[in-house]
Amino acid sequence: MPTPGPAAERAREEIRRLAAAKGHPTDNAQLALDRLDQAFAAGELERTPLLDQAAMDLRLALVEGEGQRLGGKTGEASRLILRAIVRGLDEA
């Protein structure tokens, strides 16, 4: 069951906006991941197994891809994992 309330809706909306922003996919992914972590820490969203796994995968992709150019494997991995996070927000 998704976390109810205006704080949860605001967190979901902000994460979706960050994920869809124009710019480098790894930058967008890092910003969205930071906001997701803030939402968990503040109790705005409840953790789910999917979001925990996707966040862990995204962290790994971002660390392994530091310094890579736009369009590299890290950018593509970031986009794919971020899509999974956005889909999983409805359950958080």
Helices (H), 1-92: 6-20, 25-42, 49-64, 73-88
- Could you tell me if residue 23 is left (phi over 0), alpha (psi between -120 and 50 degrees) or otherwise beta? left
In sequence order, which residues have a C-beta less than 8 Å from that of residue 79 and are 6 or more positions away?
Answer: 25, 29
Does the structure show a pLDDT above 90 at 74? no
pLDDT at residue number 70: 41
Nearest-angstrom CA–CA distance, 19 and 1 = 23
Query: Is 0.95 topped by the overall pTM?
Result: no
Per residue in 5-27, pLDDT (tens digit) is 999 999 999 999 999 999 888 88
